[in-house]
Amino acid sequence: MQAPIVTLTMNPALDVSISVDRVVPERKLRSGPGRFDPGGGGINVTRAIRNLGGSSTAVYPLGGPTGEAYRSLAEAAGVSGHVIRIAGETRESFTVHDSSTGELYRFILPGPEFVEREWRACLSVVGHNLPRGGFLVASGSLPPGVPADFYARVTRLAAGQDVRVVVDASGPALEAALAQGLFLIKPSRDELAELVGAHGELDTDEQLRAVGALVTEGRAEHVALSLGGEGALLAWADGTLRLSTPRVEVASAVGAGDAFLAGLVLRLAEGQPIESAFRTAVAAGSATAAMPATELCSAEDVATLEGQLGLG
């Protein structure tokens, strides 16, 4: 039996991925067929959860013709949930693969401007669909017009409702949410450094102290620190776990962090111990990094990579 999971994506993006022979300026760059995916943090988490055999409900705003295209793609991908209509046009993001070098170029648009009644409508939908006994995953950037404390407001809605709130964000949005006390956050090393006001990259000992402080101060029960190709670190009241990344040929890092979060939350929702959930998370992130463009991990690949991992 799986506990309920609801994902919230305030700034979804229609992900467009193409490949060209070589990226050069001032020339028409002709590509092969493009790939189109419904993207954005929470939606990617929902898609990855589905790939891993789990289920979740997605809450997300859409607007304009791009929003209509997005909704069709989401439905085709098996995403179910609640769509909030907005006046602005859903954004797009572009990933261009340079075949000659293997490099990826990512272009991210800011998203539509929200008016107050629109973001309050999103808040209301979340409040009416709280996953009691389960997990609420608020993931991704906040679009223009949405207040920086939006995720904090979401967290307050869930207070006392037997809902474990997970926030994957950065900057003021994350700081405000942490003030309410969260179940889990998933910063990158750069986001952790920003969060603690460090100038430059944190070394290993500084990372351990930083994530430990977040837990002991009661700001987050769990901190899953993403270290890219070096693996991940998980801290909670009972200790820390560290895992190295399994060996994969990286094709695209797009969505890897979302897949990591999906694996972690899904396994916890299934009642698995934190050590097992963490192993699945690292395997899911790595399996996604081995996929092209914006494609997410498969359950088979994740299971294979889990077999290579040992807890350190």
Catalytic residue numbers? 258
Question: Which tokens is 203 given?
Answer: 């070394």
Question: Which tokens is 253 given?
Answer: 């890092």
Question: Which tokens is 292 given?
Answer: 């092209």
What whole-number distance in Å separates Cα of residue 138 and Cα of residue 133?
A: 16
What whole-number distance in Å separates Cα of residue 202 and Cα of residue 204?
A: 7
CA-CA-CA-CA torsion sign (252, 256, 258, 262): positive
